[in-house]
Structure formats: structure tokens, C-alpha cells
């Protein structure tokens, strides 16, 4: 099936940036710039402290709210963690899970990604499951093996109905925050491989409905050629999502 059947998703991962007032200033500007955007799902992912204010700011707009992480348990003695019911309560529709920075710096594993994914789904939050190889892995010819373990590990045990609520974000680690974007052909090759994995694990019908975002130095100038690839269904954007104009331009360039 053609990629055009899937609504592209553009998500801004703000990472460890923005105070509450800065976050609201950004969404206030962004709302006005994307008010007429159609045929694209727009998401912002502020830090936990700004979620409530941003949720109010984007209420009744076409922008959706995501968190950058979630814990696998709903409540209890887990100091410092934030749960799926709490994220739902504050207005999140999505949650980013398994970002490479969390895998690299905070001990995230395929197993914890899987547990968090299940917790999110249990509370009607859509997981954006991040997968991606490091430079050394690509150079050693291990890209497909790494992607396979991230994808199959992350979605292990999910029903087809649950999988349909998930988004996969392919983010080659060597392209994140480096200014080195994967070429459209490199992105397409891996996205096609991921869709093939989903086809084998579920069916072509299910796989054809899953949105697979690309992430890694996405900018207004490279969005259109990436999104033109048949299996690239949107972007997870870091640096360029921190300014309303550049993020809105990316949204514009997928339409």
C-alpha cells in the first residue's frame, strides 16, 4: 500500500529545554503558524514540568501533547518517576519511549521500552517507540540486526490492535543533533525494513497502517525529500522544534 494512506506525524521533542513560560511562548507562536495545517498530525513533547501549561495552551488547537518518557508502573514507591495515568491526566495523547538518549544515558533497554509501551497502551497513550543504530553499528554492517532487536523487543507481546496505536520513530543515532541527516534513500531502506518486520510479525494489512517517522537532523530544507519516500511517514524533530518558525516550516513542508 502507498505511504500516502497514512497521515504524516510531525513531532517536536524539546528534550531538556524550555521553562514553563518559554514553553507557552513557543506553543502560542506555533499555534498561530500551523492553524491551517491539514493532513498532518502535529505533536509537541515538552519536559514534564511544562506539560500542564502547554496542555492548556494548546487546548482547542490542532497540536497534540506528548511526554518524553513514562514509567512502566502506574503508582507506588518509585521516586522521581511519572506514570501513564498521570500523563493521560495532564492531557497527553502520545509518549516518546526509548529515545536513544535514554538508551545511552539512562539505561533504557528493549525490555524496559516494551514494559513502558504496554503501560502507555493500557492507559490509552500512543507510544512513539524510538529505534536506531549507532555509527559503529552501521559501519560494522549491523544496522538491520540492531533495528530488528529494537523493533521486535519494543513491541513484543502486543496484539495487532495495540500495535495500531503505536508509532515507530527510526532515528539513526549518528544523525541525532549532528547536522548529518540520513539520505532519503538510507531512511527509506530502513523504514522499508521495519515495515517488513511488522509484516512478518503481523500482516501486510497491519504493517501498512503503522506510521514510521524519521528523526535525525530534520530541518525545513530536508523535510520534503525525506517525506517523499514511500515508507517515511513523518518526522521526530529535535533542535528544529525549539523555534516556532522552523517547526512550522517543517509542518508546512509535509503538506
The answer to whether 158 and 166 have CB atoms below 8 angstroms apart is yes
- The smaller minimum CB distance to ligand PEP, of residues 157 and 179, is found at 179
The nearest distance, CB 200 to ligand PEP, in angstroms, is 27
Catalytic residue among 41, 101, 133, 171: 171
Q: Beta strand 94-97 with 63-67: parallel, antiparallel or unpaired? A: parallel
Catalytic residue among 99, 108, 150, 191: 99
- How many residues contact ligand PEP, by CB under 6 A? 13
152 CB neighbour count, 10 Å cutoff: 16
The nearest distance, CB 176 to ligand PEP, in angstroms, is 4
For 41, residues 6+ apart whose C-beta sits below 8 A from its C-beta are 7, 8, 9, 10, 64, 234
Among 44, 87, 211, 237, binds ligand PEP (CB under 6 A): 237
The nearest distance, CB 218 to ligand PEP, in angstroms, is 5
The nearest distance, CB 188 to ligand PEP, in angstroms, is 17
Among 239, 244, 247, 254, binds ligand PEP (CB under 6 A): 239
Dist. CA 135–CA 123, nearest whole Å: 35
Dist. CA 23–CA 59, nearest whole Å: 14
The nearest distance, CB 168 to ligand PEP, in angstroms, is 13
Chain positions 13 to 72 lying near ligand PEP, rule: CB under 6 A, are 13
Among 236, 244, 250, 251, binds ligand PEP (CB under 6 A): 236
Is residue 191 flagged as an active site residue?
A: no
- The smaller minimum CB distance to ligand PEP, of residues 58 and 131, is found at 131
Residue 220's closest CA among 181, 178, 185, 188? 181
Dist. CA 187–CA 218, nearest whole Å: 12
| C-alpha cell recorded at residue 4 | 500516502
The nearest distance, CB 237 to ligand PEP, in angstroms, is 5
| C-alpha cell recorded at residue 255 | 503538506
- The smaller minimum CB distance to ligand PEP, of residues 41 and 202, is found at 41
Among 34, 44, 66, 176, binds ligand PEP (CB under 6 A): 176
| Choices 19-27, 169-177, 200-208, 247-255 (CB under 6 A): range interacting with ligand PEP | 169-177
The answer to whether 82 and 56 have CB atoms below 8 angstroms apart is no
Chain positions 199 to 218 lying near ligand PEP, rule: CB under 6 A, are 215-218
Secondary element (H or E) of residue 114: helix 110-122
136 CB neighbour count, 10 Å cutoff: 10
- The smaller minimum CB distance to ligand PEP, of residues 177 and 230, is found at 177
Could you give the 3-state DSSP secondary structure of residue 235? strand
Dist. CA 101–CA 197, nearest whole Å: 24
Is residue 171 flagged as an active site residue?
A: yes
Instruction: Enumerate the active-site residues.
Output: 99, 171
Kindly list the residues in this chain that would bind ligand PEP in the complex (CB under 6 A). Answer: 13, 171, 176-177, 215-218, 236-240
Amino acid at each position: 500500500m502507498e505511504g500516502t494512506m497514512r497521515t504524516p506525524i510531525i513531532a517536536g521533542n524539546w528534550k531538556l529545554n524550555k521553562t514553563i513560560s518559554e514553553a507557552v511562548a513557543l506553543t502560542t507562536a506555533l499555534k498561530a503558524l500551523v492553524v491551517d495545517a491539514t493532513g498532518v498530525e502535529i505533536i509537541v513533547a515538552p519536559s514534564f514540568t511544562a506539560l500542564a501549561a502547554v496542555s492548556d495552551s494548546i487546548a482547542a488547537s490542532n497540536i497534540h501533547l506528548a511526554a518524553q518518557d513514562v514509567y512502566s508502573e502506574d503508582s507506588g514507591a518509585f521516586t522521581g518517576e511519572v506514570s501513564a495515568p498521570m500523563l493521560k491526566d495532564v492531557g497527553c495523547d502520545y509518549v516518546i519511549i526509548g529515545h536513544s538518549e535514554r538508551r545511552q544515558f539512562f539505561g533504557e533497554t528493549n525490555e524496559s521500552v516494551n514494559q513502558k509501551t504496554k503501560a502507555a497502551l493500557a492507559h490509552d497513550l500512543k507510544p512513539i517507540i524510538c529505534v536506531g543504530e549507532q555509527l559503529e553499528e552501521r559501519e560494522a554492517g549491523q544496522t538491520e540486526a540492531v533495528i530488528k532487536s529494537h523493533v521486535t523487543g519494543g513491541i513484543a507481546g502486543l496484539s495487532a490492535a495495540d500495535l495500531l496505536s503505536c508509532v515507530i520513530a527510526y532515528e539513526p543515532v549518528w544523525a541525532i543533533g549532528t547536522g548529518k541527516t540520513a539520505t532519503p534513500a538510507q531512511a527509506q531502506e530502513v523504514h522499508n525494513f521495519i515495515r517488513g518486520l511488522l509484516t512478518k510479525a503481523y500482516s501486510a494489512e497491519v504493517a501498512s497502517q503503522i506510521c514510521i517517522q524519521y528523526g535525525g537532523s530534520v530541518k525545513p530544507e530536508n523535510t520534503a525529500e525525506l517525506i517523499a519516500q514511500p515508507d517515511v511517514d513523518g518526522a521526530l524533530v529535535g533542535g528544529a522544534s525549539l523555534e516556532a518558525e522552523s517547526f512550522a516550516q517543517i509542518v508546512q513542508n509535509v503538506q
